[in-house]
């Protein structure tokens, strides 16, 4: 099992939206970064655990927990000319982008960046690295344990 932090803008998909979604699951579509795509395509597996992170909002931070519930498959938005995620270079025979599906586990208190940065146990966390803008990053098992047992208990 692996652990991940996945960022979503809450006006696109919030932890509350995921909790209300049919079967409490949703496709993680619209990722247009090759490294994040490769994480989904090559490393994520059903059962992997997710820190659900609200980004690009007034109060960014970890807002809940989720779980990968479907392996990577082509992201349909890349083929939709009306979608902001449309990619003219993507074809059905050679899709460029994938998504996984995640299911709701639980909503947590909002664990913001300021509090995360104050934790010496999280000093090496990729989320906190200068210049990190990836929407999906791996989380070290020790970081996962610290966050879920000490900060979100």
Give per-residue pLDDT as tens, 22-43: 999 999 999 999 999 999 999 9
- Whole-model pTM? 0.97
Q: Which among 81, 49, 60, 44 is positioned nearest to 10, based on CA atoms?
A: 60
The domain segmentation of the chain, as residue ranges, is: 3-141
Please say whether the structural domain 3-141 has been given the CATH code 3.90.1150.10: no
Give per-residue pLDDT as tens, 37-82: 999 999 999 999 999 999 999 999 999 999 999 999 999 999 999 9
**How far is CA 131 from each of CA 3, 91, 124, 126, rounded to the nearest angstrom?**
21, 32, 13, 10
């Amino acid at each position: 099992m692996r652990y991940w932090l996945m960022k979503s803008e809450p006006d696109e998909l919030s932890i509350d939206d995921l909790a209300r979604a049919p079967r409490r699951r949703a496709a993680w579509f619209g990722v247009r970064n090759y490294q994040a795509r490769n994480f989904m395509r090559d490393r994520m597996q059903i059962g992997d655990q997710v820190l659900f992170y609200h980004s690009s909002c007034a109060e960014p931070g970890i807002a809940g927990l989720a779980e990968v519930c479907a392996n990577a498959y082509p992201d349909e938005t890349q083929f939709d000319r009306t979608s902001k995620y449309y990619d003219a270079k993507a074809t059905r025979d050679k899709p460029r982008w994938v998504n996984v599906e995640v299911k709701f586990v639980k909503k947590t208190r909002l664990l913001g960046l300021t509090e995360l940065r104050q934790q010496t146990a999280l000093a090496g966390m990729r989320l906190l690295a200068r210049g990190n803008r990836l929407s999906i990053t791996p989380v070290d098992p020790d970081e996962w344990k610290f966050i879920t047992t000490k900060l979100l208990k």
